[in-house]
Structure 1
Amino acid sequence: MPTVNQYVLGAGDDWWGIMNRRARRDGQARCAVRLVWSEDGGRVTAERAWRIENGAWNGEESLIVATSAETFKDEEAQEFLDRRLPRDYLYFFLFDGEQIQELAEANRDVQQRQMERLLGIGAIDALRAALNNAIGRWQHNDLEPQARADLERMEGEARGLEADRTALDVSRANLGHEIENDTDALRRIVRRIEGLSAFVHRHDEVQLRETRARIQAQRAEAMDLLSTRLPRDIVLLVNPSLVTRAMERLNKVLGSDANARARVLESLLDILPARLFDQPDFPTPDIRDSQRAYYRYKLVSVLEQEADAAGETMDPAFGPDPQAASAAREQLAPYTEANALRSVRAEELRRLQGFASELRQLEADLLNVGSLSDEERTRYERFVAERDELQRNLDRKKAQDRDLASQSAGLKGKLDEARKRIEQTRTKLGNNRVIEEKIAIARRLGNLFADLKSSRKQAQRKQLEAAINQHFRILMTSHHLIDRVEVNEDFGLHYLDAEGDHVGMGTLSAGMKQLMATALLWALSEVSGKQFPLVVDTPLARIDLAHQEAILRYYYPNAAAQVIVLPTDAELDARKLRLIAPHVYRAYRLTNPDGEHTIPAPVEVSDLIREG
């Protein structure tokens, strides 16, 4: 997307800017967009204008809305427009038919929020957000200055984390579309390769394909096995000199006189007092218990002093206790002479490379056993190269998606922790009774609004689901890959086949996605009860003939109180025009003979039909 400045002034050859080219050449400085419509109270005119002088824009724009009774400017004018048609609704009522399937593929979170607003549920969220803001403000104003400063810092950190996570999620959504596009492209390339391979002798082809499938399975198994083994000990395998030095230090510690003496003293301390005083044979006459306790205490003290003295003579820079040092030496010992293990790992890597070579050879064999011409063989090799490149890119993007998902999860954890600290600070310091009572009332209201939202969502979800399925069955007449559509609690759409299994978005054709998006728009308009004009450019793009007729017969005559379509002459021929002629209020032909002046001329639909 261009920046605002680029949108106004232009962005190279991609976009020439808002101002008409001829007007700019003539030295004019002001350009504007004007919209006029009728309401019960009379005609309304809205105009947004910019001033561009000497190829520069000062960053200002004016907005004026004039009704029969009064005139609004800038912010008041924008508020007037938002009351008539909130910007969140534009997504569903003003679109390009070439891109309508993006409605079905859109970022789920964004789509669901917009659907909630369109169905009147988003207003409840706005009330809850206002209550939460009020609670935060009351708690904030009740804090001591230093505590307030700490809270502001924590809130700033939370906002930063939230912005970072939102940016990551947007990147993931974009990457998800790229992965789906690459998957579709890879599927097409594979079909082309298989089409060229259809010339081979069937017996040899089947045998080679079985061998290829077996090698692919072995390669996948070897990769899985290596991925589980390699990360655990790779550092020790590739750093034999480091392992050797560590073993030398451990042997030195464990073999030193001080260490040996310390081990002997610790062993004596464990067994000598008990065996000397508590086990037979006892002297005759036996000593008293008090004497036995005294000598036991004295012996233990002497041994402990000697053990401490022995420990003080050990290397202070590297002095683990004997048990830990011994355990470390046992773990490192296999890696001092790990040439065999290194050979095993290297052999596993070579084995993977061998699988790849075998697969390439099998691909060539599949080609050579047939009777492909030189031209077909060249095409085959080009398709294989494209397939391999696509697969590498797809693997890289999937790895990137996993990394982004991990980063997003990490940011979510940090954000949850930051919010928890903020809430704890507010709760701890918000001790004003009046504030607490206001907060308690606001929270009860918030719970009430949450219950209201849940109730309304449940009711409208069922209505929306029924309407989507009804309209989709009307529009989709050629086949039944999708048997029904489910709308979940959060207005997410799930497509199911006749067996109740999920149908993936990537398996749907562009035309089917466009029909699904059309059914969604139709259902939203019907369930919401809102009557806004519907404006569609290229209304029949990417849809086959049978479904074009269904859309013309059933959707556009019922889509809204006012429907404006901008078709090309190739989209609406005489036969299609007859289908919608009874519903057409007014028609125009747009002509642009010199590429710079578009002229709208009124025309009768009957004349268009007669002209073909």
Structure 2
Amino acid sequence: MKFRKLTLENYKSFQFPTEIVFPIGDDGRSIFLIGGMNGAGKTSIMEAVTFCLYGGKVDDIYRNINRREKAKGNANVAFEIVIEMDDASELVVKRSWTAGAVSEPRARDLTERLVVVRDGKRVSVQNQEIWQDFIRAAIPPGITQFFFFDGEKIQQIAADDHSEVRLKSSLEAALGIQYINRLASDIVYIKQQERQGFVEISDADLEFKQSELKREKSKRVRKHQERDGLRAELDGFKAQLGDARKRFEASFHAAPESREAMREQEKKRVLAANRLAQVDSEIRNLCEKALPFSIAGKLFGGIRRQIEAERESASGEAIKENAALLAKRIVRVVEEPEPIYREKLSAERMAELERRIFRMLKEGDHNAEVTKVLDLSDRDAARVLNRMEALENSDVFLLKPLLEEADSLKVQLRQLEGVVGQVGALSPTERDLFDELQSVMESCSTQIGRKTEQLRLVEEDVLTLDKRIAAIEVEIEKLYEKHNVSKEKVDFIEECDAIASVLNQFIVRLRKSKVHVLQEKTFEMYRLLSSRSGLIKDITIDDKTYEVRITDRNGHEIRKSSMAAGEKEVFAISLLWGLAQTSELKLPIIIDTPLSRLDSTHRDNIVNHYFPNAGEQVVILSTDTEIDTSYYRSLKPRLSGAACLEFDQRQELTTFRQGYFWETRHG
């Protein structure tokens, strides 16, 4: 697998779309050197690769958007990697974040989008998750730290005596052991799932369920018998109640009433009598106050109309009496303040118009003449109207509904007194028969209610038993089915145990074999890079804990913490190279500023021995003081290309240029 091209846009100092093409040599190998001063964007290249392959948190993406573009409201970030796969196919991974049409975008507004193109054919969006899994399988994120690393990763591994132990899970992923572990865990999980859904069925289990079914059916038979007995008792009480009702009607020629019903009727009679007395009292009070006036209430409308008619007639008489004055005023209005017609009337015509208006007003409306009956002054008319209105709003008109209520109460009392009086008029013998029949009917009614409730509960029990029996029958049917497949299940679970055991044994052997190769490869590179390699006899790695033990020629252990800083870093680089070799994954190696903390001897060894052998594709990110002119001359025959990141501090802009530092400046 090789990276062919990386594109960054609007990320950190890469404001504009920037393409980085990774050249490949004729032999298929590649060492590509990219120079850049501190802050020029070397780390951004490594981050871009990780974000493009695996995505990232929107807060991290938003925080690293180019500041100038973010200030303009542009929150779009994009990465693209073109990868040549091991089978020579081309895979293009494009990942972008956009905030859409938001005026002031925030981190929460960013939406991630993944596009995968394989051999020129775009993969559908619906398969985005599947292709993300494909990317993770092809380039496992857990082990990229051993292929894409910087000086800080080297420092981390070199930090103390037990750093390898803390990297155990990542080391196992790089060595391929993690997948076998996951397979073994999956086998155990499948076995547990089978056990959860499986119970071994024996003949005793079937016999127990059959006996349980027999018991429930016996309960149901007893409940049926109890239900039949209750139904018979209920029918008997209903028949007894019917006979008592017939005897009551034949003896007393009335529908039977219970003692409670009769007491309720007596209570109603007393309430009706009390209400009738109250209504009679209200009627007497109303009669004493305004009864005479209420008799004339129907005449109030006619009186009002007569008063209004006489008032209008009086207005007409006033107009007749002042007809001459009104005629003069009307004629003046025609011309004053200015004429309302085109030609001015002569004095004769104005006089004729005044005479006609006078005659019209003097004659008046003969149809509106009214015979004065009341002949009231305005003051007396107002007093009469006010008095009628007061009478209409008084309580005197409540008399009619009160009288109707009194009649209704009297009818109700006669009916109630008839029933109560009928019982009071019975002879002692009839009274005894009355009480006897009442007791029988009340007792039967009570028993009917009790037996009805008992019958309801028994029928619910029968339904419950029916459901229980049906469920047991279904269980028995399933048990027979499971009984037939029980042996197959047992065999499958035993097979899972056997496979898990074999896998665990394989993991032990694989880990031992891989760790043996790892320690050989690590020691091989360490001898090439270390300035003290002649003093080191062996490097061993524990195949369970991954703890590293370094021994000298005398067999004494050398603790990593006692080693010089340069030796620690050389050991860390050797371990990274050993992991890459042992994993057999042909991933690109990206190294960021690996020489910054090393002395000249160790730098010589890394430039001459590590870089040429680190992998099939190596990308070195360096400052001008790490790969200087001397090291550049040593590396140049092996380089497939060199480039430089130029950073403009004023514009805060990084530009990618072909050629290393001095090649860029001097051509």
Higher Rg of the two aligned structures: 2
Normalising by structure 2, what TM-score?
0.44
Normalising by structure 1, what TM-score?
0.48
> With CA pairs under 8 Å and 6+ residues apart, which has the higher RCO, 1 or 2?
2
